[in-house]
Structure 1
Amino acid sequence: MTLLTTNLTAIDNELSNRDIALDPQGYFIIYVDRADGLICAKHYTNIIDDRGLAVDPETGKVIPAKGKVTRTNTTLYVGRTAKELCVKILEQTEPSPVSMLDHAAYLGREFVRAEIALLSGAEYIQD
């Protein structure tokens, strides 16, 4: 790794540990479907409680940030590129499943990372 790559990775790692506000419209689980050459994003609805925690609208239970959670997604979005997926979700879907600009920016970054992993064969792990 070069010094520049090390520094950029350190910046990203530090920013990944910041507190974020959750989008009341829901969240996405992103993954790569290598067999079909697609970037996939499962959308899940949630409710944000008075503590700022995401709650399952069906059960009322807090959705943990880590670990396995069994829920049914509301929509599956797929695209061949990050741009195609962003257009589908952020421009063509009404009502929008994204209500916060920082959430939209995060999705764009993650879709680009997923596209790079799809093209390079590298592993994709959502941040």
Structure 2
Amino acid sequence: MKTILNVIWLVCGGFFLALSYFLAGIVCCILIITIPWGIASFRIAGYALWPFGRMVVDKPGGPGVASTLGNVIWIVVADIWIVIGHVTTAFTMAITIIGIPLAIANLKMIPVSLMPLGKEIVPTNRPFVSTYR
């Protein structure tokens, strides 16, 4: 089922979403000081390409001071437009019944695009230790 949803996702906009994150990663890596956000954009691009069967968790040890500061800068500089894009495309996907799971997957990407540093994308069948107790 995950494979079918991923293929539908890929055809209905996931490819272009992943491509936009990939291009943003290239731009961030060219502007040397923004390389951490570029690496995070590449990670999100992989997640945007094949989201079903994967989830976002905090990296072991939790986010550090540098990750938190980087995420605050990211929110101020670029994130509002990314969140608006995800909400808009999720709304348009949810218009049809078959698009509802795709809209949920799109909304599932908002937290990692909101604060990309200090996150890891793992398969859902892999056991992980939650940092929330």
User: Normalising to structure 2: TM-score of the pair?
Assistant: 0.30
Higher strand fraction (1 or 2): 1
If asked which structure has higher relative contact order (CA below 8 Å, sep 6+), I would say 2
Higher helix fraction (1 or 2): 2
Quick check: which has more Rg, 1 or 2? 1
